[in-house]
Amino acid sequence: MVRPLVTFLLICGLDLLLAACPSLAGGTVVGWGGPPPPAGLTNVVAIASGYAHGLVLNEDGTVVAWGSYLLPDWGPAGPWIPVTVPSGLGNVVAVASGMAHSLALKADGTVVAWGTNTDGQLNVPAGLSNVVAVGAGTRHSLALKTDGTVVAWGSNSYGQNDMPIGLTNVCAIAAGWVNSLALKADGSVIGWGITGGSNPTELPTGLTKVEAIAAGDDNVVLQADGTVIGWGLGGYAVPADLTNVVAIAAGLGGPDNQIDLALKADGTVTGWGFLFGPPLVPPDLSNVVAIAAGGYGSLALVGDAPPARQVLLSDYTWSPNGFNISLRTQRGRVYRLEFKNSLEDSQWAALPLVAGDGGAQPLNDPTGTAAAQRFYRVRRW
């Protein structure tokens, strides 16, 4: 999961402070530990790594898959099921990989699931729409909606689908082995299922300034100061000197074969945990912009520069229809426009979540029609 981008806009009349615009072009994929990615992958904008398979989302909205599914009740000897992509799948804006199933979020807010269906993890609820993010665990699936609520389906053997009643204002989700996490916009974390080893609901104390979450065998959270906290089934300790982190990933592969990753602001990657054979991270890996941790292998999306932290906001208007602004978005990211009428206000008012689709997305505040002064920010997860 990626640390959120925040762009501040100062609105007084129509005076705007805008951020610089980085390249949002697709990159190439580096894989290690598991089945190698197919040759010639370019223009990739998002990646996902399952137990022994990988997914990439191309800039044109198509998906490429490789590797194999291993059913949760099978041993390493298999049998293994080759991974394929549903025929005609396109217009995808985000992907997620579980142990033996995969999910794709389409630009129209619907979800496509494929792979094995041992516990109903492919049974997308009828009528599910307005989805902005998806998460795939061992045998269960999660979806985040524009209104900040979460939908779960599939196995509930350890309560991994038993969301707390009244869970709202969620901005990011993560599905793991038998655990689920939700990040709320106020920086707090909610967990359900077995999230803390032997204690089904145990979370570390003091998780109040979290900016990103990841779930696998372990749970990993990224704090606002660029440091990382980890806990859970694998129990692998986060490196003590790990700082300046901008994205995290948690592997899904069982306590004896699992890796967690952190992407640093300089485009390098740090790994910890346990993985048979290969190194935790390839030497000389640089200019990484996204990471994905799996069971037997992990992936890195490599660009032409370290991760960018700002994007250009343009085409702003203030009309009887409200305040409108256009933001060039990335597939696999979630955005939200927030506002306050005074910088002394303690809370930002939140508007609906929007899924990035690779193009310019309009963000609208329908109430911003008569305010003499209003302050805006855009957040990205």
Name the token pair of 99: 């142990």
Who wins on pLDDT, 258 or 11?
A: 258
| For residue 10, pLDDT beyond 90 | no
Give me the pLDDT at residue 75, please: 63
In angstroms, the Cα distances linking 229 to 109, 196, 256, 267, 372 are: 32, 13, 20, 20, 42
Dihedral-angle region of residue 2 (phi above 0 means left; psi in -120 to 50 means alpha; beta otherwise): beta
Give the integer Cα–Cα distance in Å for 380 and 59: 19
Give the integer Cα–Cα distance in Å for 139 and 73: 11
Name the token pair of 231: 């806990």
| For residue 117, pLDDT beyond 90 | yes
Query: How is the chain split into domains, by residue range?
Result: 5-20+309-380, 28-302
Confidence of residue 201 (pLDDT cuts 50, 70, 90): low
By the 8 A CB rule, do 305 and 23 touch? Answer: yes
| For residue 70, pLDDT beyond 80 | no
pLDDT tens digits, residue range 262-316?
Answer: 999 999 999 988 665 556 789 899 999 999 998 888 999 998 877 766 666 667 7
| For residue 329, pLDDT beyond 50 | yes
Look at the chain and count its residues.
Answer: 381
β-bridge partners, 192 = 180
Q: Which ranges of 219-286 would DSSP assign to H, the alpha helix? A: none
Who wins on pLDDT, 45 or 10?
A: 45
In angstroms, the Cα distances linking 203 to 85, 149, 160, 267, 283 are: 36, 21, 15, 29, 34
Give me the pLDDT at residue 255, please: 52
Who wins on pLDDT, 214 or 362?
A: 214
Domain 28-302 belongs in CATH node 3.30.1600.10: no
The one-letter code for the residue type at 336 is R
CA atoms within 13 A on the CB side of 60: 6
Give me the pLDDT at residue 77, please: 64
Residues whose CB falls within 8 Å of the CB of residue 357, separated by 6 or more in sequence, listed in order: 93, 107, 329, 331
β-bridge partners, 245 = 264
Residues whose CB falls within 8 Å of the CB of residue 311, separated by 6 or more in sequence, listed in order: 5, 7, 19, 21, 22, 24, 327, 328, 380
Give me the pLDDT at residue 204, please: 87
